Amino acid sequence: MSSPGIHGSRRNAKRKTIDSSDQATDPSFKNIRRCPHSGCPTKVPICFAGATERCAGSGYTSRWYHTSAAEHYCNECFEHYYRCHKDGYEVYLSWKKLWSTHGTTDASIRMFMTNSVLPFWVQCRECHKWRQWSKSTTPIPEFLKNYVCGTMASGKKSKLENPCEVPEDQRVTLTRDPSWTHLISSLSYMKNSPAWPYLTSYFPDKLGMCPSDHEVFKERKTPVMHKYLQPFVEADSSEIANGVAPDVMEEQEMDEFPEYASIPSMYLAIRNICLTLWNLNFKEWLTKERCATQIICRGLGRVLYIESLDKVLWFLTRRGLINVGLLSVPRSPQSSYISNKFIKPNPSVIVVGAGTAGLAAAKTLQGLGLKVTVLEAKSQIGGRVCDDDSLGVCVPMGAQILNGALNNPIAIICEQAGILVNSLSDSCEVINVNGELMDKQTDERMDFHFNAILDIIADWRKGKELTQDTSLLAKLKEMHQQFLDESQLSFTTDEQKKMLALFIEEESLMNFHISNLEFACGDTLRNVSALHWDQNEDYPQFSGENLVLPAGISQVLSKLAEGLDIDLDTKVTKVDYGEETVKVVSENGKEWTADKVLVTLPLAVLQDKDVEFSPCLPEWKSKAMKSLGVGKIEKIILRFPRPFWRKKIKDCKVFGHIPEKQDNVGYFNVFYDFSTDKVDKMYLLVTHLTGSALKLRDRLDRDVVAACMEVLKALFPEETVPKPLDYFVTKWTKDPYSKMCYSYVPIGVDGDAYDIMSQDVASKVYFAGEATNRQFPQSVTGAYVSGVREAHKIFSTLVEDDT
């Protein structure tokens, strides 16, 4: 097959007897056949195949075959491949074999023509005009990146003095018509898709990839993605946050890209390529330019795909699926998806609070070109992420664990910034107050039993109204009994004694599990909703290993804060949003004005109305604010001269304390070994007070530590437990700028409250923070995600929508 050059087939041009535009305008011209495809706008088709000397070119043929609004082949070329006595038949046959082995779509001659004969189109790097290129050579990314008008498939240059001055082929404009995708009669699939190696369990054509590429990929080595990244999740496996089903166009995507509704596999092909490229290199902003060189397919469809890339990339960025973390938006003129025009010059935003949510939002907004000022009451950033280095080693006073590394944006930031992370093993030895390690069998049995009870509770809540809600503790007790009755499980007397002890105040593993749940909720289970305590589990969660950052999560926040305008020691007292701009006032009377304000105050601070809103927040907002629970935990950090616990618990980094009686639930339930063995005498244990145990926090630190030491002595009677060299007892609940650890769902409330918390007021006051994130509440990750979410929301209101 010959190369058509930049104007289409030379042979076509030679064979033209009458100018095609004349034909189109001269109704008296008889010797013309129109494309029979209903709605096809092309009056005079041109054969793209040029496969035989008899090719009709743009002249008469007994039948035109329609591929798209601007792509047709003549009956002569059809016969050339289709008839067994013709020269092209063998070519078609071998393609057909390959296609039907690896694909599901019909290996028809039409499919062959589209995916094996249709020419490629390329875009000039300099003038950005589209040019028809070769039929026989699949362009490689490097070529597509550097293509300039006049470059032939042979590599030779055209003789034209300034090939960029040649007008663009008019057929290109047809791809921009909304009806283009509806008029496609056979799809041109992606060639050499970089997503292919990660999607081998699918039929490639279902995902818009060319089945005949199978042979190509068979030979190639698959580049390995980072272990914390898993962009694709198969529909029948459990969902992972920020993982997408490669074969499903989500509802949001359908809404955003209606132009792909008739060809969803092509959207999937593009989206999956973008996700793959980002996940293979998450240290660089994924640009349209980078993706465009990997979107390779035959025909004019490529024009549409490349031209919709901006929108796809922007959508995926807003969804937090690509361009996550510390990367800055490139300011190149080609990156048009953020060079949208601002509605007014220099839009500005004030962010109240320099915790995780505030910093994430400010970083994102600044990256998008907005003027951002962060106001923080404390003399340091971080909020509930606070690490103390006074001992010469990092002591996490607030958040310390990242739950679920897979696709977790904080884990990605750590990798981008070279921040060291360690995985935290799941294993936890459990010890009773007589110092006995719980045997594995009983431990596992109780684990199973506890989870079974939670499952029964999950079953019970189906179809229940909020008015039927009750406390999680009450339900646990009830279901425990019901489970025993219904399952007829015969526990040993010893096990029964241990389990039933929950209700008769004896030592019980059950208390340990309850204690753990109280830690997760930040309050006694008497206050927690049985119906909705785990409402976020209805949404995909971050999974995989849990991580600790030896130098503290505050490292991540310092990275986010780099280059931001942050006013520390600035306690905001009022947010006035009654005028066109928003006015924010601090305790010392200083004022700031901006187009928008983002409030990231902790829930408890909002509930206590420490910041006045003028006008008052609407009732729907304040009602949701009041309804959510304010969880409270305090940490006790002890430094010892030696790791006396290790002889018993061996390599475990976590050990649990089975409380003696239910009254002791919440007291020092789990101990984390946060030692830095590399530094002498830096043997740290971190534990907590939760729920009703918080009454201890009113005592002196030394009394709290004494109570904790009593527990440790009971757990390790065989040891002479040394006195701690240092200790810290946190005061989060008394900290006027926190007053809490994290939110929870109390009795009679559901997850909607989180959604309402996230809604803006009057398109001027926006809210972020862990208590505004229904899917990932309570966590640093959730706070981060909420900050990015609001940044995009604010940005979208300040720019003209030119998508």
Ligand X SMILES: Cc1cc2nc3c(=O)[nH]c(=O)nc-3n(C[C@H](O)[C@H](O)[C@H](O)COP(=O)(O)OP(=O)(O)OC[C@H]3O[C@@H](n4cnc5c(N)ncnc54)[C@H](O)[C@@H]3O)c2cc1C
* Cis ω before 246 (30° cut-off from 0): no
Using CB under 6 A, pick the residue from 249, 269, 375, 756 that binds ligand X.
375
| Nearest partner of 550 among 376, 684, 715, 731, judged by Cα | 684
| HEC sequence for 304-323 | HHHHCHHHHHHHHHHCCCCC
Nearer to ligand X (CB atom), residue 73 or residue 519:
519
CB of 634 to ligand X, least distance (A): 7
When asked if residue 357 is in the footprint of ligand X (CB under 6 A), the reply is yes
List the one residue from 355, 659, 691, 724 that touches ligand X (CB under 6 A): 355
**Contact region with ligand X (CB under 6 A), list: 24-32, 280-288, 320-328, 779-787:** 779-787
Does 770 interact with ligand X (rule: CB under 6 A)? yes
| Given 265, 294, 400, 535, the residue binding ligand X (CB under 6 A) | 400
Q: Are 6 and 166 in contact (CB under 8 A)?
A: yes
CB 297 within 8 A of CB 305: yes
- 153 part of the interface to ligand X, by CB under 6 A: no
Per CB under 6 A, the segment of 328-336, 437-445, 719-727, 775-783 that binds ligand X is: 775-783
Tokens of residue 513, six digits: 């599990």
Phi, psi dihedral angles at 708 (to 5 degrees) = -65, -40
Q: Nearest distance from residue 402's CB to ligand X, in Å? A: 6
Distances from the Cα of 326 to the Cα of 229, 376, 414, 645, 781, angstroms: 16, 21, 9, 39, 14
The pair of structure tokens assigned to 401 is 């664990």
Instruction: Pick between residue 309 and residue 740 the one whose CB is nearest to ligand X.
Output: 740
Asked if 377 is part of the footprint of ligand X (rule: CB under 6 A), the reply reads: yes
Residue 121: CB atoms within 10 Å: 22
Q: How far is the CB of 601 from ligand X (least distance, A)?
A: 5
Q: In the set 741, 757, 761, 791, which binds ligand X (CB under 6 A)?
A: 741
Burial code of 563-574, b = ≥16 C-beta within 10 A, e = fewer? ebebbeebbbee
CB 497 within 8 A of CB 505: no
By beta-carbon proximity to ligand X, the closer residue of 323 and 773 is 773
Q: Which of residues 552-611 bind ligand X (CB under 6 A)?
A: 571-572, 600-602, 605, 610-611
Using CB under 6 A as the binding rule, whether residue 191 contacts ligand X is answered as no
Q: In whole angstroms, how close is the CB of 736 to ligand X at the nearest point? A: 7
In whole angstroms, how close is the CB of 326 to ligand X at the nearest point? 17
| Distance of closest approach, residue 543 Cβ to ligand X, in angstroms | 14
Give the nearer residue to ligand X in terms of CB position, either 476 or 572.
572
Least separation in angstroms between CB 595 and ligand X: 19
Which CB sits closer to ligand X, 375 or 564? 375
Task: Tell which residue, 270, 264, 298, has the closest CA to residue 115.
Answer: 298
Query: From the annotation, which residues make up the binding site?
Result: 376-377, 572
Using CB under 6 A as the binding criterion, the count of chain residues that bind ligand X stands at: 41
Q: Is 629 in the site for ligand X (CB under 6 A)?
A: no
Residues 627 and 752: beta-carbon distance below 8 Å? no
Distance CA 727, CA 635 (A): 10
Q: Which stretch binds ligand X (CB under 6 A): 212-220, 356-364, 505-513, 665-673?
A: 356-364
Binding site for FAD: residue ranges?
376-377, 572
Q: Which helix (H) or strand (E) holds 401?
A: strand 401-402
User: In whole angstroms, how close is the CB of 441 to ligand X at the nearest point?
Assistant: 30
Q: Cα separation of 308 and 783, whole Å?
A: 31
Contact by Cβ (8 Å): 179, 39 = yes
Query: Does 635 interact with ligand X (rule: CB under 6 A)?
Result: yes
Q: Beta strands of 518-578 (E only): which ranges?
A: 546-548, 566-567, 572-576
Q: Does 406 bind ligand X (CB under 6 A)?
A: no
- Which residues of this chain interact with ligand X, rule CB under 6 A? 352-358, 375-378, 383-385, 398-401, 571-572, 600-602, 605, 610-611, 633, 635, 730, 732, 737-738, 741-742, 769-770, 778-781, 783
